[in-house]
Amino acid sequence: MLSKNFPSSFFYKKTILLTLLSFILFFLKTNAQTQGKIISIIHTNDLQSRLLGFAPNTDFTPLTTNDDETVGGIARVANVIRSRRALAPHRTLVLDGGDWMMGTLFQTISTFEGAELRLMQAIGYDAAVIGNHEFDFNCDGLADIIESAMKHGEIPQLLLSNGNFSSTSTEDDRLEKLYEKGVIRNHIVMEKNGLTIGMFGLLGKEAASVANYSKPMTFDDPIESAKEMTAFLKNEKKADMVICLTHSGVWHVDDEGTWGGADVDLARAVPDIDVVISGHSHTPLPKPIMVDGTPVVQAGSEGQFVGFLEMQYKDGEMQMVDYQLVEVDDSFATDADINAMVDSFQLSINEKVLEKYNIGFTDVLAETGFDLTITEKDLLTSNLGSFAADAVRFGVQKYAPSKELPIVGLTTAGLIRDNMLAGEKGLQQASDLFRLMPLGKGVLDDDPGYPLAVGYITPAELKSVLEIMLIAPSIKGNSHYPYFSGMKFKYNPNRVPLDQVYEVEIGDAQNGYQILDLSDEKQLIGIGANLYVFESVSLINELSKGVLNVVPKFADGTPIVNHQDAMLDFSKAQKGIQEVKEWSSLFELTQSYPDKNGNGVPDLPEFYKKGELRQIATASWNPKYMYQNATKVMYGTSCLIFLILAFLIWLVRRIFKKKKMA
């Protein structure tokens, strides 16, 4: 017997069935529409203001092809990207993994020209993540860069998903307003080739740790932020594809070449990310690192390579179908409009930055018949490291208020940003030399480059500085590997850390060395460095947990309270302190060398060809080298070891004695 409610019950069930059927048909139709769809991704990273070819700029011939050995150059990069994008613009994205700023003279006009972002927009970039070097001019400086570029039109979408603004400081307010306006965003969603694509950007932990001028901003854990953003894009925005632009890095984790690093960890921890566009480690990956089906890609640095990735929507997920890493060499033409922009920026640099130094962008300042290099493999023997330290010492010696006291120069590997390559002609322009030590900005002015400072310390304090610098690379990484000028020293790695240095000599290879009396409490030695490094010297007491103590002083022995008071002044005739820049000292050093072949260009001395070993390890158990110039650290540790051994001997003898009595 039929129920009295049959009509309404039947209608209710019919409605449910029709709804389900409609949903299934819609899903099948949508899946059919997206099935097999391809997304092409063109990517770069760590362009670092490298707008010209990678080699001496005199070798770079942007208007012709197949006639030089240089690689890179933003106008060539433009040609590579535009040509590939033109093949399928409806499905192509152009993305960057961060650090588009810092490294060349072009950065010096960025706060009022926005050169890098304007070029990226002209080339056709869709989005870029903010890297650590974008903060090198602090938060206000980054705001200046972005706003100056925007005065000329649109810019690529900037992404940063794990940044936090201060609720108490006003120093990041302008950057926060750019977030509010959507100029910088924590995500973006767009349609390409019928697919919904969600993107977000991350600054990795290590990159954030070296973004020294990003304060008062703070950064959340990248993996936790990625989980949150990916879930949001997949669930709320219904993204078919999620792309993470991350300035974190990849590297080999063993001798077998196994890939690891922050971006590999990220892809493993957040499997719903479909593609990781990596940056920061300057790694040219000839093929993607595949992490459970997710490709992690990175294209080296400085425009030397461009990556091409193709992903296909298949069986409800994105799958990699092709990848190429293309070297941007002289076989590629350059795009005229980008060349014209680069030329105009060079004129701006001459007029607004270099004129006060009476020098030009293309002025040839030095000649070399050999390369000066620094790599992870040759840190100890790097001739470029010694050359950079010599430049610091030269500037400090020239402008230090006291000319009687000896001077030691100090720099670190992380502050040396490029190699000096002889190339075909051996000629080094001002723009080439600037690339060696380009970082920082003024403290008392807005000019590019770290200012140099000098303080005076005793021989014992110099030993303490060396002890800290010896262990710094193992704690903070090879970017903290030290280079010294005006001295060389010997150390015994068999001794206790913080008391391994046993002999220090002051002087140089040209004028000879003299052994320093490390017990002399009256002698003062100048230690010169850029202000960034100099400030760390005052932190040695804190870094060593009170074991070591260094108090930088003026030449009269008065302690330096304010680090800015230690800055050097290159013009006493002018009011205030006129900062002596690290890079300008490099210029002055090269110009002090003689011209040996009569072409009007100073020649680098031949002694740099081989380099000079200034840190000499003597691994020995000989008591002479174990205790020569030792401090309480070595003696105290030795006493402790002796007491422990004595106790163990006593304990063993007592045990044997009891056994005999038994």
Answer yes or no: do 397 and 438 share one domain.
yes
* Residues 620/626, Cβ–Cβ less than 8 Å: yes
Which pLDDT value is given to residue 372? 96
Residue 513 in any domain: the answer is yes
Q: What is the pLDDT of residues 238-293, one digit of tens each?
A: 999 999 999 999 999 888 889 999 999 999 999 999 999 999 999 999 999 999 99
Question: Is 463 inside a domain boundary?
Answer: yes
- How do 195-203 and 241-247 pair as beta strands? parallel
Are 307 and 324 within 8 A, CB to CB? yes
What domain range is 475 assigned to? 363-617
Q: Which of the four pLDDT bands, split at 50, 70 and 90, describes residue 543?
A: confident
8 Å CB contact between 132 and 160: no
| Contact criterion met (CB below 8 Å) for 301 and 287 | no
Higher-confidence residue of 408 and 476: namely 408
pLDDT of residue 5: 47
Asked if 137 and 113 touch (Cβ cutoff 8 Å), the reply is: no
Closest C-alpha among 181, 115, 164 to residue 144: 115
Q: What would the two tokens of residue 497 be?
A: 């850390």
Q: What is the pLDDT of residue 28?
A: 45
For position 24, what pLDDT does the model report? 47
Higher pLDDT, 28 or 364: 364
Tokens (6 digits) for 213: 């001028």
Q: Cβ distance 193 to 37 under 8 Å?
A: yes
**Whether residue 236 sits in one domain with residue 123:** yes
Nearest Cα to 131, choosing from 109, 162, 105? 162
What is the mean pLDDT of the segment spanning 517-534? 94
Calculate mean pLDDT across residues 442-453: 91
Residues 417 and 306 in one domain: no
Which single residue is written with the structure tokens 């760590």?
46
Share of the chain above pLDDT 90, in %: 83
d(CA 533, CA 37): 52
SS3 state at 605? coil
Total domains in the chain come to 3
Q: Is residue 317 part of a domain?
A: yes
Residue 5 inside a domain? The answer is no
Distance CA 432, CA 441 (A): 18
Kindly state the average pLDDT of the residues 471-484.
Answer: 92
pLDDT band at 17 (very low <50, low <70, confident <90, very high): low
- What are the tens digits of pLDDT across the range 22-39? 544 444 444 545 668 999
Q: What's the confidence (pLDDT) of residue 352?
A: 94
CB 280 within 8 A of CB 240: no
Q: How far is CA 20 from the centre of its chain?
A: 55
Give the span between the Cα atoms of 115 and 118, in whole angstroms: 5
- pLDDT at site 553: 96
pLDDT tier at 18 (50, 70, 90 boundaries)? low
The residue among 336, 352, 371 that closes a domain is 336
The mean pLDDT of 447-454, rounded to a whole number, is 94
Same domain, 457 and 373: yes
What are the pLDDT digits (tens) for 573-606?
888 899 999 999 999 999 999 999 999 999 999 9
- Does residue 325 have a pLDDT over 60? yes
Distance CA 178, CA 392 (A): 38
What are the tens digits of pLDDT across the range 636-647? 999 999 899 999
570 and 439 fall within a common domain: yes
Q: What count of residues does the chain have?
A: 662
Query: Does residue 327 sit in the same domain as residue 398?
Result: no
Mean pLDDT of the chain: 93
Q: Are residues 254 and 403 in the same domain?
A: no
Within a domain: 17: no
**Residue 261 is encoded by which pair of tokens?**
């690093």
- Residue-wise pLDDT tens digits, 177-206: 999 999 999 999 999 999 999 999 999 999
Using DSSP, how many helices (H) and how many strands (E) does the chain show? 19, 29
Paired tokens of 109: 């006009």
Q: How many CB atoms lie within 10 A of CB 48?
A: 25
Residue 581 forms beta bridges with which residues? 451
Residue 394 and residue 475 share a domain: yes
For residue 126, is pLDDT > 90? yes
Judging by DSSP bridges, how do beta strands 92-96 and 38-44 pair with one another? Answer: parallel
CA distance linking residue 128 with residue 118, whole number of Å: 13
Using 50, 70 and 90 to split pLDDT, how confident is the model at 9?
A: low
The verdict on 308 and 371 lying in the same domain is no
Percent of the chain with pLDDT over 70: 95
CATH number of the domain at 139, please.
Answer: 3.60.21.10
> Side chain identity at 360, as an amino acid letter?
G
Token pair for residue 425? 């002609």
Q: pLDDT-derived band of residue 14, with 50, 70 and 90 as boundaries?
A: low
Residue 15's identity, in one-letter code, is: T
- As given in the structure block, the two tokens for residue 119 are 């070029």
Are the CB atoms for 359 and 587 separated by under 8 Å?
A: yes
Strands 487-491 and 501-508: antiparallel
* 488 pLDDT more than 70: yes
- Does one domain contain both 488 and 433? yes
**Both 367 and 494 in a single domain?**
yes
Same domain? For 295 and 411 the reply is no
Q: Band the pLDDT of 307: cuts 50, 70, 90.
A: very high
> What pLDDT is stored for residue 315 in this prediction?
87
Q: For residue 565, count other CB atoms closer than 10 A to its CB.
A: 11
Cβ within 8 Å of residue 607, ≥6 positions away: 509
